[in-house]
Amino acid sequence: MSSFYWLAIVESIVLGLLCGVVGTIVVLRRRAFFTVALTHATFPGGVVAAIGGFSVLLGAGVFSVVLVTVMTAISRVRRQGAQVASGVVLTGGFALGMLLQSLWPSLPVQVDTLLVGSILTVTWGDILAAAVVLVVALLVLLVAGKELLFSSFDPWGFRAAGYREHVMDGVALTLIAATVVVAMPAVGSILAIALIVGPAASAGMLVRRVDRIIPVACLLGVLSGVLGLVASLAWDIAAGGAISLVAALFFVLASAVRSLRKGRTTAQALRTSAEH
């Protein structure tokens, strides 16, 4: 077993934990489309980084700051809204990446590396970046976790209680953007969404209490990463694709468990009402 394999395992564990934490924020705040738009839109950042010869993380990071600003601006215009903003940024970002890539045909980085990632070639730098974002996300949860939850569930009540909603929104968006960026080297710009949203959405179906969603999501995230990696090596398929398929499989299992439970509670309710 060679060293790149261990690097990939470590990266998938760190990313699994990070996606469990930040994915829960995405799911609770209903920011999935925003996250998808952001993941697609980091693609031109990767291409620019390849052209300029600097780190993909830097290119994607700069682009994500620009695009979050554009999206926030568009979503505040009347008759446009958040969905239009995400749609415009998503297609525009993707088209920009394609254009740049077609203008520089002899890029050293292949397009598929940017789109679907390549976890087997991650560096210690990539892992370190993901770990830093993970630590920051955990600190944010420790310091402002309660406020973040409050504003996710009841933005009106949050504002009425004297808090500033846009501060929390800014914190959430920054964490999401940072996660998308550090996930890009491993799972690429299109597949990152599976690892971010999948485990958290599954956890939300399995446990009812919010404070248990995050640990379960982290566990599922790590399992998705590691099992996907093993599957990709065993059957020689794309690692990014395998990881997101495992995450999707957990989602299917979780919804099956939920509907089984629902069926049982309905049956119980019927029985008790029949007894009375």
Stretch that binds other proteins, among 53-61, 101-109, 154-162, 261-269 (CB under 8 A): 101-109
Q: Single out the residue of 197, 216, 217, 227 in contact with other proteins (rule: CB under 8 A).
A: 197
Q: Find the binding residues for other proteins in span 55-84 (CB under 8 A).
A: 74, 77, 79-81, 83-84
Q: Which residue has the tokens 């501060």?
A: 167
Q: Find the binding residues for other proteins in span 40-59 (CB under 8 A).
A: 40
Q: How far is CA 272 from the centre of its chain?
A: 43
Q: Which two tokens stand for residue 58?
A: 């830097």
**Shortest Cβ 89–other proteins spacing (Å):** 9
Q: Closer to other proteins by CB, 112 or 161: give it.
A: 112
Q: Find the binding residues for other proteins in span 240-259 (CB under 8 A).
A: 240-242, 244-245, 247-248, 251
**Shortest Cβ 192–other proteins spacing (Å):** 9
**Shortest Cβ 112–other proteins spacing (Å):** 5
Q: Find the binding residues for other proteins in span 126-185 (CB under 8 A).
A: none
Number of residues that bind other proteins (CB under 8 A): 57
Q: In terms of C-beta distances under 8 Å and separation of at least 24 residues, what long-range contacts does 59-64 make, across chains too?
A: 60/180, 60/181, 60/184, 60/189, 61/178, 61/181, 63/93, 64/38, 64/177, 64/180, 64/181
Q: Single out the residue of 46, 198, 221, 225 in contact with other proteins (rule: CB under 8 A).
A: 198
Q: Residues 6 or more apart from 93 whose CB is under 8 A from it? A: 37, 40, 41, 42, 43, 44, 63, 67
Q: Amino acid letter at 61?
A: G
Per 3-state DSSP, the chain is made up of helix, strand and coil in percentages (nearest 5) of 85, 0, 15
- List C-alpha distances in Å: 249 to 57, 92, 255: 29, 31, 10
CB atoms within 10 A of CB 6: 10
Q: Give the dihedral of Cα atoms 148, 225, 59, 100; nearest 10 deg.
A: -120
Q: Find the binding residues for other proteins in span 108-137 (CB under 8 A).
A: 110-112, 115-116
**Shortest Cβ 142–other proteins spacing (Å):** 25
Alpha carbon distance 241, 49 (integer Å): 23
List of residues contacting other proteins (CB under 8 A): 26-27, 30-33, 35-36, 40, 74, 77, 79-81, 83-84, 86-88, 90-92, 94-96, 98-99, 101-103, 105, 110-112, 115-116, 190-191, 193-194, 197-198, 200-201, 204-205, 236-238, 240-242, 244-245, 247-248, 251
